[in-house]
Structure 1
Amino acid sequence: MGLRKSRRGPLKSPNFRWLALSSTTSALGDAFGGFALLFLVLEAGGNAAVAGAVVAAVELPGVLLALLGGVWADRLDRVRLMVVSDIGRAVFQAVLFALFWTGAAAWWHVALFGFLTNALGCVYAPSVTGVIPQTVADRHLTDANGLLHTGRTAAVAIGTAAGGTVIAMFGASAAIAVNAVSFVLSALFLSAMRLPSSAPRAGGGAAQGVWQDLRAGWSEVRRRSWLLSELLRSAVEMPIVVAPFAIIGPLMASDTLGGAESWATISIGFLCGSLCGPFAVRLWKPRRPIWACTALMYLGAVPPLLLALTTSVPLITLAEGVKGAAVGFFGTIWASLLQREIPDTVRSRVNAWDYTLTSGLMPLGYLLAGLMVTQFGRQPILILGVVWNILAVTLVLALPGVRRFRIDWNASASVDPPTSSSGDKTKEATR
């Protein structure tokens, strides 16, 4: 089934419905698996130090392999690649569950199979973003991205809450079983999609070809000042602003805010706000999207400032909710821009660069945040993040490429559509 050209919304497209079911189901299972990770280590006899090493190992593929995942997502049929990813992840999680079920599991099994699972996940994420324009018309891209964002965020919230109940009743390994089943269901949903076959979009399989593909993706990023500037801002903000807040927040919650329940409340505030962001896009699509969305990121300075200056959980939760709405709005606009402005031939590689730049320094941020808190205390580190947020956002807003970049959301995408293997042109909205 080809791209829908009618005025019907994203959910009128069967292909988009199957994609949304896959994405939401996968996010739900990931929430179960992520919540259970530390409990699995403890069940396997590990201590706090081992738990930290396991988390680092599980998160490592996102830093090392995301770019390669983008290359393969541009070279191969994206839907088939996602199906293979889901099946492989289901197998790895099922093996890990079996090890716990038989009592043979050790902590290193958790690290190994977590690493392998996330390694396969590195091709799923860029493939999803790349395939969205094949399922809906140009005019529905923002709605489609908003619906996927809302579904994933709701699934994470539900999975996190339900994961605690499942672990309390049946043990941490039960959550891994749920994760394995979620991958099977996701693969089944994807298998129901019917999209036109695509010709190969990138070069061969030699190592030289891989590096050429990566450079081609980076070239697409570099030649768009609005894209490069925002990625660089996020790349530095994540370790300086976000990581310290994530480390210091639970510590201060334990000491001065009333315990872990308070931090859970603050975290849920962000998730609830994030759910609202995509709905705001339906009401307002800014003609200067990067300038407007970047300006909203001033709101990111408010939660760490309040955490440094007050012990009011409701106030901090409200600030996190507002920030979450801004992030959800920005994320929906951002995904739609990439799908409109980046050619299909390099779409997944650009998304991989996006992920790598914005997340690659997070492990370092966590490490440095812990060390700096020990040396300088909590409040100074939080205030440093506030100051950096304000300076970085102001700098990006002052760039001519950001101020001048405009979008007519009612117009078709500005890049050429890809060619199918049969030789027919398939109208495809591109980032």
Structure 2
Amino acid sequence: MITVLRQKAFGRLWLSYTASAVATGLLPTALILAILDRHNGFTALGLVLGARTLGFLIGALPAGVIADRYPRAKALACSSLLRAAGAAAVALLLDLPTIALCAAVFLAGAGEGVFRSAYQALVGELVAEEHRHEANAATTLSLRVCLVAGPTAAVALHSGLGRTTSLLIAAALWLVSTALVAPLARGDRKPPETNETSRNALADFGHGLREARRHRWFLAGLAALIFWLALGEAAKYLMLPIIARDRFGGDWLIGAALGAYSLGAVGAAVLMSRWRPRRPGIPAMIMLGSYGLVPLSLAFAHHSWIIIACCAVGGAGIEIFNIPWFTAIQREVPQHLQARVSALDFLVSYGMSPLGLALLPAIIADVGGTTTLTVCGLLVIAAALLTLLVPGMATFTDPHHPKAPHTTPTPQAAEQK
């Protein structure tokens, strides 16, 4: 991992990403605390958080087309500026009507939707294939550390310096992220035109859909991710607070379980920076399915350490999946389509989480928490393991399809080789 960070272009890109990740870690907690300080804070909170999710989904929809049509470093810089403007606007508009806050948070969410797809595609563009696994591990590690530290820092800043401090620091960090990626933008080139490039954004998005359908391993993995988010992750967030209070007598288990999840993810990122399995799809899908242990432990465990341990395994599992998954997209998908396929990945998978959070409460009320958690856990495990029946899933490749030609590497990537 140290080797890839020494490469000038990726090192600068990673620092830009890390500054953005610190801001991303601060923002949700900073938003919650700042809005709850308002006189109608609880009523406004759901609307504001929903606006951020909606902004992300709407931003992710055109993000792939934008990052495949225009220089990706410039797309990253613009998305960070958009997020900085959104965070700063929230800090300045806290006492204005809720609709103004929703609009500002929507901007920040839209910027995040563009940022993720552009970043993944730019890593594939700048980093030589033999170093992409380590590059994705470094990215995941910085994100997970920031997501662990961010909420604690936001609470401390809110208590010591006031409700707008964390928001303004997040805005400043996104400006730093913009400044770090700006030199890459000056040397960045527009992705090359191909016979699939059109002037119609919808047609370009359609090319991305066709490319995604060409990769059966991608479709199977995306289906497993939908179960992971809509059933596993949603069930955890809905039932963990209830189980903590009813079965274990307090909220301490919430922090312990979520902390164990984050520590498991960090440990797995370190492991994956050194480990390159020959058939990465096998450990990836087994460990993705291991998240089903989380709802199963919530359903049946009467010892808190079992729930905490299952959350740690689940956190490790998602990163043992994520790192080879992102690397496979960067390897198997042509460079001029990578952002569109990554955008589809983020759009479909993250769009399912709100759906699960919306539907599961009614199911829990109808059939009970234990039954719902059991079914959710078993479906998460089964969905992940069944994907291994798909040809090519074990290696995240399409053995029966010729690999589409990739575009010429950028000058930055050529220098690294």
Tell me the TM-score normalised to structure 1 length: 0.88
CA 1:64–1:282: 2 relative to 1, 3 Å = closer
Residue number among 223, 235, 249 corresponding to 1:244 in the alignment: 235
Does the CA-based 8 Å contact 1:15-1:135 persist in structure 2?
Answer: yes
Does the CA-based 8 Å contact 1:203-1:213 persist in structure 2?
Answer: no
* Worse-matched range after superposition: 14-23 or 143-152: 14-23
How many Å apart are 1:25 and its aligned residue?
A: 1.2
How many Å apart are 1:337 and its aligned residue?
A: 0.9
* Worse-matched range after superposition: 284-293 or 396-405: 396-405
Residue number among 177, 181, 189 corresponding to 1:190 in the alignment: 181
Does the CA-based 8 Å contact 2:280-2:324 persist in structure 1?
Answer: yes
How many Å apart are 1:127 and its aligned residue?
A: 0.9
1:17 corresponds to which residue? 11
The answer to whether 1:66 aligns with 2:66 is no
* Worse-matched range after superposition: 347-356 or 157-166: 157-166
2:85 corresponds to which residue? 91
Residue number among 380, 390, 406 corresponding to 2:381 in the alignment: 390
Question: Structure 2: where are the runs of 5+ without partners?
Answer: none
Q: Deviations over 1:408-429 (max 9, x none)?
A: 9xxxxx66442479xx896599
Does the CA-based 8 Å contact 1:97-1:177 persist in structure 2?
Answer: yes
Where do 1:37-52 residues align within 5 Å?
37-52=31-46
Paired AA for residue 33 in structure 1: L
Q: Deviations over 1:351-386 (max 9, x none)?
A: 001011111121111011222222222111110111
1:221 corresponds to which residue? 212
Residue number among 238, 244, 255 corresponding to 1:264 in the alignment: 255
1:29 corresponds to which residue? 23
How many Å apart are 1:183 and its aligned residue?
A: 0.6
Where do 1:135-214 residues align within 5 Å?
135-193=126-184, 196-201=187-192, 209-214=200-205
How many Å apart are 1:342 and its aligned residue?
A: 0.8
Does the CA-based 8 Å contact 1:31-1:159 persist in structure 2?
Answer: yes
CA 1:284–1:89: 2 relative to 1, 3 Å = closer
What is the distance in 2 between the residues matched to 1:111 and 1:257?
36
2:329 corresponds to which residue? 338
CA 1:415–1:15: 2 relative to 1, 3 Å = farther
What is the distance in 2 between the residues matched to 1:195 and 1:418?
20
What is the distance in 2 between the residues matched to 1:207 and 1:190?
28
What is the distance in 1 between the residues matched to 2:247 and 2:101?
33
Does the CA-based 8 Å contact 2:87-2:171 persist in structure 1?
Answer: yes
CA 1:140–1:329: 2 relative to 1, 3 Å = same
Structural RMSD (CA): 2.7
CA 1:29–1:308: 2 relative to 1, 3 Å = same
CA 1:98–1:48: 2 relative to 1, 3 Å = closer
Paired AA for residue 42 in structure 2: A
Does the CA-based 8 Å contact 2:15-2:180 persist in structure 1?
Answer: yes
Paired AA for residue 24 in structure 1: T
What is the distance in 2 between the residues matched to 1:395 and 1:8?
36
Paired AA for residue 107 in structure 1: T
What is the distance in 2 between the residues matched to 1:418 and 1:391?
38
What is the distance in 1 between the residues matched to 2:97 and 2:185?
42
2:407 corresponds to which residue? 418
Tell me the TM-score normalised to structure 2 length: 0.91
CA 1:312–1:110: 2 relative to 1, 3 Å = farther
Question: Structure 1: where are the runs of 5+ without partners?
Answer: 1-6, 409-413
Does the CA-based 8 Å contact 2:281-2:395 persist in structure 1?
Answer: no
